Amino acid sequence: MSGAARVVLATRNAHKVVELREILADLVAGTGIDLDTAVVGIADVSDAPDVVESGVTFAENSLLKARAACAATGLPALADDSGLAVDVLGGSPGVFSARWSGGGGDTANLQLLLTQLADVPDEHRAASFVCAASLVTPGGDEHVEHGRLSGTLERAPRGSGGFGYDPILRVDEHRTLAELSPAEKNAISHRGQALRALAPHVVALLTAG
């Protein structure tokens, strides 16, 4: 592998950087790629300001971020946009998931959603995590893939893993996403699905030359 081959992750979220590297680890096994140096976060290579996520779909927002990161760094850029789509809320919070409480952060977002759903019976608490992941290269190539993980919303958070709404989406008979190990989560997650679909393109870039 060329020592200069790198891909930038268009996120400043430390949780996502770790999670994305974990997902890619199995996919590049045996290639000689060191993900700690080959895959970097945007903060490691650029002080460009965050992109305004003005898109109305996850795909639009992921492309906005990937294009901006590619332009700012000159590197192939990988970005995702994801959120929680609640059936009884018509797909909301959706693209507004990260700012559902108006900027209060993960805990405030989660508590506000639980309050809004307090009177919703168990049989109507279906929801899905949705992700769009995009890869943009300096040469102008663009790839977008999607993933979805469906489950049922609990009435109180459970589990210490993950982040965001992970502690309230039950994804099997007993456990929320926050109660799964990182390996279990990455194997089924919406982000894992989308990134695995993009992985052949990422590996091709990192092994080129």
Q: What is the DSSP string of 10-22?
A: ----HHHHHHHHH
Q: Is residue 48 part of a domain?
A: yes
Residue (of 103, 168, 77) closest to 129 by Cα position: 168
Give the pLDDT confidence of 96-118 residue by residue, as tens digits: 999 999 989 999 999 999 999 99
Q: What is the pLDDT of residue 2?
A: 38
Give the pLDDT confidence of 148-167 residue by residue, as tens digits: 999 999 999 999 988 899 99
Q: Indicate which CATH number applies to the domain containing 189.
A: 3.90.950.10
81 belongs to the catalytic site: yes
Catalytic annotation, pick one of 26, 34, 81, 166: 81
The size of the chain, in residues, is 209
| Residue-range definition of the domain harbouring residue 161 | 7-207
Share of the chain above pLDDT 90, in %: 64
Q: Is residue 2 part of a domain?
A: no
Q: Is residue 70 part of a domain?
A: yes
d(CA 56, CA 83): 12
SS3 content of the chain, % helix, strand, coil (to 5): 45, 20, 35
Residue the block writes with tokens 């779909």:
57
d(CA 148, CA 130): 5
Q: Is residue 26 part of a domain?
A: yes
Helical spans, DSSP H, in the chain: 14-27, 35-38, 42-45, 58-73, 106-116, 182-188, 190-207
Q: Is residue 31 part of a domain?
A: yes
d(CA 18, CA 76): 19
**Total domain count for the chain?**
1
Q: What is the pLDDT of residue 4?
A: 52
